[in-house]
Structure 1
Amino acid sequence: MTSAHLNAAGAGLMPESVVAAIKSHLDLEARRGVHWAAADARHAIEETRILAGRLTGVAPTHLAFGEQASRLWALAFASMPLKRGDRILIARNDWGGNIVNAVRRAAAAGAEVVRLPMTGQGRIDIEQAAALVDERTVAICASAVASSFGLRQPVEALGSIARPDACLYFIDGAQAVGQFELTLPGASADVMVAPGRKWLRGGRGQAMMALSDRALRRLVEPIIVDQSAGTWCPDDRFLPLEDARRFEAWEFCAAGRLGLRASFQELDRIGIANVRAGNDEKLRRLGANLRDISGLTVFEDEDAGAAFLTFQHASLPANRIVEELAMRGIAVASVGLDHARWELEARGLERIVRAAPHIYSSEDDIGRFTEELERLAARADLDRGRSA
């Protein structure tokens, strides 16, 4: 059975160049040992930082790597000065891990968490959000695209709102970087994170964080430091590095980092505009197919520049749809309260199905997905009719 992968929002399929880069370095590690292999590849590894900085719009000195985007976000957020009475503005559809970390830290410090207002279409309401920003605001947090619904959020407009000098603007770019033009300075952001495994197709265990000058000034003392992230002084003081590497650990997967480098090179070869155009075309076909299936509700307008499409069926639970399709070799995902509680509760939902094609997704992939989903829906309708 041939497989169809429509889960780029979870993890995109690695191109051959990425796989080759990872395998090649693993072979080198097997021959020379991991330390010598990393030393041999140091220039290529450092080029990864340059390419990541170019993609996110920052100098290499303002780019940090880690294993997981949400951990980098949490590390930066935990390193931000916070006191009783401070206010954190955060979108209800931000990544669940970001929300949990913000809520926990605010509770410990006596700070206030305020949800950013949303429009009826599920986008951040910029005018109302601006009215919430005052001298107490120390952080504004949003995802460029939520993991629960595929509409692009107006993060550039949110960044244009006047805010106190001490206020840091956090953007989670997990569902945007690699398929939309999004840079840290373009969005007037201070902290922006993204993983390598989604739309960049760089494999698992690699993520990046871009920082502004303001963020580097505010986050001088990371809550956790690695001995390589600064200088251990004779008097036992620790002086963090002046650049973003203060947030990095000495230990990392060099093969994975080189795979990420290859993914940046692949994106440069294809062109992000071509990626977006290709994804838009696939989403239009996918959306048209889904809207023809009885009992199905699609939550995005595929003509409005969505990152992916989400839906629910009137009688088929989301988990069952995902499991049944998986047995037929078709990969989609579901998103539930465990990852998107605030957003789903606001919409009166518990779990939805997410279909996320990428440029490698073929017409046959979308056709097979549609046919199998139609069969599941028809069988559900038949079962419901028998039990009526």
Structure 2
Amino acid sequence: MISRESLRDPPAAEGGTFMHLNAAGAGLMPASVVAAIKSHLDIEARRGAHWAAADARGAIEETRVLAARLMGVAPTHLAFGEQASRLWALALASMPLRRGDRILIARNDWGGNILNAVRRAAAVGAEVVRLPMTGAGRIDIEQAAALIDERTVAICASAVASSSGMRQPVEALGALSRPDTCLYFVDGAQAIGQFELTLPAASADIMVAPGRKWLRAGRGQAMMALSDRALHRLARPIIVDQSAGTWRPDDSFLSREDARRFEAWEFSAAGRLGLRASFQELDRIGLANVRAHNTEKLRCLGANLRGVPGLTVFEDEEAGAAFLTFQHASVPADDIVGEMAMRGIAIASVGLDHARWELEARGLERIVRVAPHVYSSDDDIGRFTEELGRLVKRV
């Protein structure tokens, strides 16, 4: 078992009274990630971006191997991009879609995924159907099975919704029988890096995740894992880059056979190397240790929050929540976030602009989200809840 001190490897920016409880937005980068990024930028400044990238080619390719291993696919089935939701949208846009086809999507999927599905369906006369939910806020697998038929070309869900820390039964959803032409999209943004989740285990065809959240890499790095079925169905990406295939003499374009057909030639080599360092840091700590630590902190946080008058916590931390969300009876969510920021405490809120379907179904407009990670301590949890209690009492 790794020591508590080693588990809490201090973030590069740690210092002063600042406290970070927003890993669901962007986790604090560990010192090793920042060092990897800075080191490569120094080389770029001395030798130029192209030469620096060429010298780091082996380490950059190792990033693909590590990402593929984490998501349970071969390196040939792993694509990188600058944003997980853009990779998701690129895959959806590249999928054959006709009038009368149906896309089944969870109401608590990421807002950008929902908007892209709605717009794509409207453009061709396809239909978007919301997956049924249980009263507890999880996808109802039995009712979902009844919706899948020969018209279903895509099923879409997030492993953990950004507006709720509750895990969704994406493995059970993927185990349902579906047409051979149906692709299963899983957004792993709030799961990869703290839960065991792979593309094969979820029986998914497309799985995306950013580096900046639970993996603690820098911004602008994301990955997409693809199944064999997805590579076959998405043979002609809607957008191509010269590096994604071959420009032939007759001006046709032959896409690569592997997942790199979705990549762009231009990317931040420094950021990619930072992502590599984040995978190495996760390997050092161990995914099981990350989850055990986060579970312990959420239990402490939940117990404290339930002692604050007028506050409702929406998740059961004993049921394996990814983070906690709450609402206060009289203090608006944005006021809580702003007041905490003035006290040097970073938390976040989620509103209708990002989770309209989910929040409207629950009769909410905005909730507060608190997401501790491996660098969070009991003292952090205690200080946050003390400051929140003072704020509520003052109001």
Class of the TM-score when normalised by the shorter of the 2 chains: over 0.9
Amino acid at match of 1:82: L
Amino acid at match of 1:39: A
Question: Corresponding residue for 2:349?
Answer: 334
1:33 alignment partner, one of 48, 57, 62: 48
Unaligned runs of 5+ in 1: 381-388
Cα drift, residue 378 of structure 1? 0.6
Map 1:20-59 onto structure 2 (within 5 A): 20-59=35-74
Amino acid at match of 2:316: D
Cα drift, residue 358 of structure 1? 0.2
C-alpha separation between the residues in 2 aligned to 1:30 and 1:21?
Answer: 14
C-alpha separation between the residues in 1 aligned to 2:64 and 2:218?
Answer: 16
Determine if the alignment matches structure 1 residue 258 to structure 2 residue 288: no
Cα drift, residue 140 of structure 1? 0.1
C-alpha separation between the residues in 2 aligned to 1:363 and 1:154?
Answer: 30
Question: Corresponding residue for 2:79?
Answer: 64
Cα drift, residue 21 of structure 1? 0.4
Determine if the alignment matches structure 1 residue 130 to structure 2 residue 145: yes
Question: Corresponding residue for 1:160?
Answer: 175
Compare 357-366 and 282-291 and name the one that shifted more: 357-366
1:311-356 Cα deviation digits (max 9, x unpaired): 0000000000000000000000000000000000000000000000
3-state DSSP class of the match of 1:303?
A: helix
Map 1:345-360 onto structure 2 (within 5 A): 345-360=360-375
Give the structure-1-normalised TM-score: 0.98
Question: Corresponding residue for 1:280?
Answer: 295
C-alpha separation between the residues in 1 aligned to 2:201 and 2:92?
Answer: 21
Cα drift, residue 364 of structure 1? 1.6
2:254 alignment partner, one of 236, 239, 249: 239
Question: Corresponding residue for 2:230?
Answer: 215
1:171-216 Cα deviation digits (max 9, x unpaired): 0000000000000001000000000000000111000000000000
C-alpha separation between the residues in 1 aligned to 2:365 and 2:41?
Answer: 42
C-alpha separation between the residues in 2 aligned to 1:68 and 1:138?
Answer: 24
Question: Corresponding residue for 1:206?
Answer: 221
Deviation >3 Å, runs of 4+: none
Cα drift, residue 62 of structure 1? 0.2
1:139 alignment partner, one of 140, 143, 154: 154
Cα drift, residue 270 of structure 1? 0.7
C-alpha separation between the residues in 2 aligned to 1:29 and 1:232?
Answer: 30
3-state DSSP class of the match of 1:141?
A: strand
C-alpha separation between the residues in 2 aligned to 1:76 and 1:26?
Answer: 31
Question: Corresponding residue for 1:385?
Answer: none
Amino acid at match of 2:70: L
Amino acid at match of 1:104: R
C-alpha separation between the residues in 2 aligned to 1:17 and 1:379?
Answer: 41
1:226-249 Cα deviation digits (max 9, x unpaired): 111000001000000000000000
Cα drift, residue 25 of structure 1? 0.4
Determine if the alignment matches structure 1 residue 76 to structure 2 residue 91: yes
3-state DSSP class of the match of 2:317?
A: coil
Give the structure-2-normalised TM-score: 0.96
C-alpha separation between the residues in 2 aligned to 1:241 and 1:40?
Answer: 24
C-alpha separation between the residues in 2 aligned to 1:140 and 1:293?
Answer: 39
C-alpha separation between the residues in 1 aligned to 2:84 and 2:361?
Answer: 25
3-state DSSP class of the match of 1:23?
A: helix
C-alpha separation between the residues in 1 aligned to 2:107 and 2:293?
Answer: 30
C-alpha separation between the residues in 2 aligned to 1:365 and 1:99?
Answer: 35
Map 1:315-330 onto structure 2 (within 5 A): 315-330=330-345
C-alpha separation between the residues in 1 aligned to 2:56 and 2:225?
Answer: 23
Question: Corresponding residue for 1:86?
Answer: 101
Cα drift, residue 362 of structure 1? 1.3
C-alpha separation between the residues in 2 aligned to 1:252 and 1:94?
Answer: 27
Cα drift, residue 152 of structure 1? 0.3
3-state DSSP class of the match of 2:236?
A: coil
Identity of aligned residues (%): 85
Question: Corresponding residue for 1:314?
Answer: 329
Amino acid at match of 2:129: V
Determine if the alignment matches structure 1 residue 171 to structure 2 residue 173: no
Unaligned runs of 5+ in 2: 1-15
Determine if the alignment matches structure 1 residue 191 to structure 2 residue 206: yes
1:31-74 Cα deviation digits (max 9, x unpaired): 11000000000000000000000000000000000000000000
Cα drift, residue 363 of structure 1? 1.5
C-alpha separation between the residues in 2 aligned to 1:379 and 1:250?
Answer: 54
Q: How many residues align?
A: 380
Question: Corresponding residue for 1:384?
Answer: none
2:113 alignment partner, one of 95, 98, 118: 98
3-state DSSP class of the match of 1:158?
A: helix
Cα drift, residue 365 of structure 1? 1.1
Question: Corresponding residue for 1:366?
Answer: 381
1:124-169 Cα deviation digits (max 9, x unpaired): 0000000000000000000000000000000000000000000000
C-alpha separation between the residues in 2 aligned to 1:231 and 1:203?
Answer: 31
Amino acid at match of 1:351: R
Question: Corresponding residue for 2:5?
Answer: none
Question: Corresponding residue for 1:15?
Answer: 30
C-alpha separation between the residues in 1 aligned to 2:389 and 2:280?
Answer: 39
